[in-house]
Structure 1
Amino acid sequence: MPPFVPLAERIVDALLASDPDLASSVGEHGVDDQLPDRSADAVAGRVAMLRDAAHALSEVDAEELDVPERVDHAVLTALVDRGIFELTEVRSHEWNPLVYNPGPLLHALVARPFAPADVRLTSLAGRLAAVPDALATARAVLRDVPRIHAETAVGQFEGAAALVRDQVPALLAEAPGLRDTVEPVARAAIRELTGFADRLRAGLRDDAGPGRDPRLGRRLWEARLWHTLDTELGARQVLDSAWANLERVTEEIRAAAVELVGGPASDETVRQALTLLADEHPDNSSVVPLARTTLDEVRDFVADTELVSLVDDACVIREMPEHDRGVAVAYCDAPGPLEVAAVPTYYCIAPTPADWSAARVESFFREYNDHMIRNLTVHEAVPGHFLQLAHARRYRGSSRARALGHSGPFIEGWAVYAEEAMVAHGFGGLAVRLQQLKMQLRMTINAILDQLTHCEELSESDGLALMTGRGFQEEGEAAGKWRRALLTSTQLSTYFVGYHQVAGVAARRPTGVPVRQWHDAMLAHGSPSPRHLPELLGLDEDDLA
């Protein structure tokens, strides 16, 4: 049997060397001067490397490994298999222009001070110099781009150009000796990024056609779901469970609404209660300061209730960069588990676009009202993503496999579970509980919307009706989620499935073990697929699916 740890390390090295996106996400800086190469030859080479890795991993007798290494073997195998599937079956690089957006990789060097300015600028110069070739590959490879992906990419590529134009000079002021190296490639990159956005915009003219259908279809979506969830739970089981959960949470939010405003346990009473809460809302100038205030609130609450151990890592709240906008309202951008520098986590919130009407802006902030922002901060920061990922970075295994194979269902599942745990302990009172239940409805509908959109050709009108009706969402939120369902696939299902798996483990806390100790134990193993948690925690084996 080949020794697993040396094999795992060789595979990790190969994965990091061939994928700057992956390397950047986990905090490995060995290819900081590169952009991904998505040319036909490079993709073929990566697929061959992944297949070699899959074969080598299949030669390992995982049952002979101890528990942590057995989980690492499963995590690494799942990561490799998913990589093969994405490149050979989904083939996003052939139709999705968003995968060519260099903005996040440029922003990682500009905004995160993991090294002195001259070191980051030297790497940045390499990435900027690679922009023309990367976009030439995009122009050569992309075919039949879905209209909604092209529309979103226009804004993101213009945002990437703005990043280079507006933020690189400030970094150069810290290392002016590199101006002659950086400024020429920066100007060329701005021209290429702007030109690429113009090319996409030209493809959106009325006579250009709709492009390919952004829906994957059942066969491909179900296969991608299997890789995304890393569980044996089937698509039909997910959908049936989601509909059942929608009924359960609807009854709970009706009862909570009655507590707030009285009246019958009806949808009308829920709308009355949510309207009352929505009247208290921020605007573009106050939403980020409000989020900062709520971060202090949730930290104090977690400490007082001993819900989970806090960390002293920095969490910085700010507006979402332009190059990332158009998909989600907020996100947590944490240092990767391999990052060794003491750099902050960014909790980013997108302001409303400048071209939105006053009515649409009002609708957005009625959805993201004062009480919803408190719940959002729980999800994105404490004890949600920021805290969970900070705990995950402290895990050290015999190899780096766990650092690369972070599970979306675990990460999103923990954050949704954290919302529920906080209100169960009294955070925010009835107002935040109503918002948390509304988010439970949204999370559940996310899974339904994801599947029906890609597999059953759900119409936009029916999708919006589901969200605004059963989910009590504002029209602006529903419209944004419809776009997200078309722009992504299977990610919207990770919240629902992950929550049920993580909550299932939390419910199995042994008698006599304090809540904080159990939650700390759940977070002490990195971010593996939830199906591995019972074994890692020493519980009797159960099928969490």
Structure 2
Amino acid sequence: MVGRVGRVERFQVVGERVVEALLASRPGVARAAGDHRFDDRLPDFSADAVAADRAMLADAASVLCEVDVDALELEEQVDHALLAGLVDRELFELTEIRAHEWNPLAYNPGPLLHAIVARPYAPVDIRLTALAGRLAAVPDALATARATLRDVPHIHAETAVGQFTGAAMLVRDEVPALLAQAPALSNRIEPAATAALAALDEFVAWLRTDLAADAGPGRDPRLGRRRWEARLWHALDTELGAAEIQRRAWANLDRVTEEIRAAAVELVGGPADDETVRRALDLLAAEHPDDHTIVDLASITLDEASDFVRAHDLVTVPDDPCVIQVMPQFARGVAVAYCDAPGGLETADVPTFYCIAPTPADWPARRAESFYREYNDHMIRNLTVHEAMPGHFLQLAHARRYAGSTRVRALTRSDPFVEGWAVYAEELMVGYGFGGLPVRLQQLKMQLRMTLNALLDQLVHAEELPEAEAMALLTERGFQEEGEAAGKWRRALLTSTQLSTYFVGYSELAEVAAERPQDVPLRDWHDEMLAHGSPPPRHLRTLLGR
């Protein structure tokens, strides 16, 4: 429990108690924040642990309600709102969504194991000691999963088979390499690794036997309007309602369609219509990487984008390391790329990972070709802007430098802020000429994709949009390759509300950026926007005095 307090107790004390309770109960939150004290743990979804967690969250919510918010300084008022919002969201997830009862991906140990193996945040013996504890926890965690999971959606079971197989590959291939640096710990690591591998293999077999295709489709992965809108409210922390978001998205789709038609005419000539857009995009799609060259291309584009940001003085570029690598197998199946940055509590000099997924080995040549037509040379430049420079990598590097009176900002990362900044960064870069007309066309295509993400999210979960209509919407209005559209359909079913964060976050962050005072240089305004952690955009307005 967090512990009761009187109204006069300072928020710093209350906030730190709640933060500590959240870190201790959520190894994934602690990992993301950069707190390594709990690196020997995995999430515990046993009945007793879930009941204790629910009680802790309810107590934390009650304690935070007792704080006299009006007596706080502005920064602490925002911290209080962020922490209360996080507690409420976690309580909602635990009591209403209850993903641990139907989503096997909630039990994937891969990210938490990889965090120890991949980042040298401490001497190898310390990391291996933590790894031994985490590996030893895998059998019980997966036993809990088998006892708890019921009516699993087919698409989640199918994705989990791939991800848990990837987690087993990590244990087989990467743990021995780390252990070779400290062989004296073999007696602790090897038995735990053997037991973890057996549990992972058994869990994959269980998924394949009981939850895959032969067992039927399982639970409908769509949340339904009531639960989806409630989850959206928690995810976005905005005053915009679902109906207004949809209205704005349709209007933005029409606006960007006209812009991409005009840009296509600049490139290939002809009338300003969809056929001209397809001719222009086909021309650009022909220039693309493959599985062997995509990481090297991303590295080149990161250097290009970094030089461009500095040359145009767009925002301060921190001197932090960024490593581009192939996406680990345990993380694949949801998104094509991601940025994995150290958290605000991290004290070691460790890199950010910009990860890109190559095509699966079992894909036919035609499907792989379609993938790389979508992620062509020019789209990779735009993707690198989004994921790295000056998108996620740069923004999260700035966020880590925020220091407040509590650790709240290190735990609370608003997806609309993070994704909104990255989409805004794409528009900013092409506005200054990065990549020329080819990248501008891809960025406009990404604007269409971002807008369609929000529509797809709502239409799938709240209005039961059929797959055929979704595919038509994505391929026709979004000009997407069939493989990209199919992947986005899967992602909409595997997730909910996250796809809305791009459009809503961009809309709100772009408005804040446009309010730059005339006497403030662009770089200074961007630095100020990024100087407060990753708060929801509405709180950023407050912090900027807007």
Aligned to 1:399: 406
2:88 matched to 1:81?
A: yes
Q: Give distance in 1, aligned partners of 2:72 and 2:212.
A: 58
Q: Give distance in 2, aligned partners of 1:36 and 1:207.
A: 30
TM-score, length-scaled by structure 1: 0.98
2:426 matched to 1:419?
A: yes
Q: Give distance in 1, aligned partners of 2:211 and 2:274.
A: 40
CA displacement 1:143-200 (0-9 Å, x = unmatched): 0000000000000000000000000011001111001110011011011101101110
Cα deviation for residue 367 of structure 1 reads 0.2
Aligned to 1:57: 64
Cα deviation for residue 356 of structure 1 reads 0.4
CA displacement 1:375-398 (0-9 Å, x = unmatched): 000000000000000000000000
Cα deviation for residue 65 of structure 1 reads 1.0
Q: Give distance in 2, aligned partners of 1:236 and 1:538.
A: 29
1:323 aligned residue (330, 337, 349): 330
Aligned to 2:207: 200
What is the number of equivalent residue pairs in this alignment?
539
Aligned to 1:230: 237
Asked if the contact 2:158–2:212 (Cα under 8 Å) also holds between the matched residues in 1, the reply is: no
CA displacement 1:223-269 (0-9 Å, x = unmatched): 00000001121110111110000000000000000010111100000
1:267 aligned residue (266, 271, 274): 274
Letter in 2 for 1:477: E
Matching of residues 337-416 of structure 1 within 5 Å: 337-416=344-423
TM-score, length-scaled by structure 2: 0.98
2:316 matched to 1:299?
A: no
Asked if the contact 2:298–2:380 (Cα under 8 Å) also holds between the matched residues in 1, the reply is: yes
Aligned to 1:534: 541
Q: Give distance in 1, aligned partners of 2:443 and 2:332.
A: 24
CA displacement 1:391-418 (0-9 Å, x = unmatched): 0000000000111111000000000000
Q: Give distance in 2, aligned partners of 1:432 and 1:183.
A: 49
Q: Give distance in 2, aligned partners of 1:481 and 1:203.
A: 26
Cα deviation for residue 538 of structure 1 reads 1.6
Matching of residues 15-94 of structure 1 within 5 Å: 15-94=22-101
Q: Give distance in 1, aligned partners of 2:423 and 2:72.
A: 32
Matching of residues 395-474 of structure 1 within 5 Å: 395-474=402-481
Letter in 1 for 2:441: L
Q: Give distance in 2, aligned partners of 1:280 and 1:104.
A: 33
CA displacement 1:314-362 (0-9 Å, x = unmatched): 0000000000000000000000111000000000000100010000000
Asked if the contact 2:260–2:445 (Cα under 8 Å) also holds between the matched residues in 1, the reply is: yes
Which ranges of 4 or more aligned residues in structure 1 deviate by more than 6 Å? Answer: none
Matching of residues 228-267 of structure 1 within 5 Å: 228-267=235-274
Cα deviation for residue 205 of structure 1 reads 5.2
Identity of aligned residues (%): 72
SS at match of 2:390: coil
Q: Give distance in 1, aligned partners of 2:409 and 2:48.
A: 29
Aligned to 2:3: none
Unmatched runs of 5 consecutive residues or more in structure 2: 1-6
Q: 1:521 to 1:197 in 2, by over 3 A?
A: same
Q: Give distance in 2, aligned partners of 1:442 and 1:495.
A: 10
Letter in 2 for 1:379: H
Cα deviation for residue 204 of structure 1 reads 4.4
Cα deviation for residue 282 of structure 1 reads 0.3
Cα deviation for residue 535 of structure 1 reads 1.4
Asked if the contact 2:288–2:376 (Cα under 8 Å) also holds between the matched residues in 1, the reply is: yes
Cα deviation for residue 203 of structure 1 reads 2.2
1:164 aligned residue (171, 182, 192): 171
Cα deviation for residue 73 of structure 1 reads 0.4
Q: Give distance in 1, aligned partners of 2:210 and 2:438.
A: 46
1:190 aligned residue (180, 197, 211): 197
Q: Give distance in 1, aligned partners of 2:202 and 2:519.
A: 63
Letter in 1 for 2:426: E
CA displacement 1:192-225 (0-9 Å, x = unmatched): 1011011101124554121100000000000000
Cα deviation for residue 293 of structure 1 reads 0.2
Aligned to 2:531: 524
2:470 matched to 1:478?
A: no
CA displacement 1:68-122 (0-9 Å, x = unmatched): 1010000000000000000000000000000000000000000010001100000
Q: Give distance in 2, aligned partners of 1:123 and 1:204.
A: 32
Asked if the contact 2:152–2:211 (Cα under 8 Å) also holds between the matched residues in 1, the reply is: no
SS at match of 2:174: helix
CA displacement 1:437-474 (0-9 Å, x = unmatched): 00000000000000000011101111011000000000
2:247 matched to 1:219?
A: no
1:142 aligned residue (139, 149, 156): 149
SS at match of 2:298: helix
Asked if the contact 2:34–2:345 (Cα under 8 Å) also holds between the matched residues in 1, the reply is: yes
Q: Give distance in 1, aligned partners of 2:212 and 2:446.
A: 37
Letter in 2 for 1:309: T
Q: Give distance in 2, aligned partners of 1:260 and 1:321.
A: 37
CA displacement 1:295-318 (0-9 Å, x = unmatched): 000000000000000011000000
Q: Give distance in 1, aligned partners of 2:44 and 2:468.
A: 39
Q: 1:276 to 1:410 in 2, by over 3 A?
A: same
Q: Give distance in 1, aligned partners of 2:54 and 2:313.
A: 47
Q: Give distance in 2, aligned partners of 1:274 and 1:438.
A: 9
Q: Give distance in 2, aligned partners of 1:414 and 1:360.
A: 32
Q: Give distance in 1, aligned partners of 2:269 and 2:258.
A: 15
Letter in 1 for 2:371: F
Q: Give distance in 2, aligned partners of 1:454 and 1:323.
A: 26
Q: Give distance in 2, aligned partners of 1:309 and 1:43.
A: 43
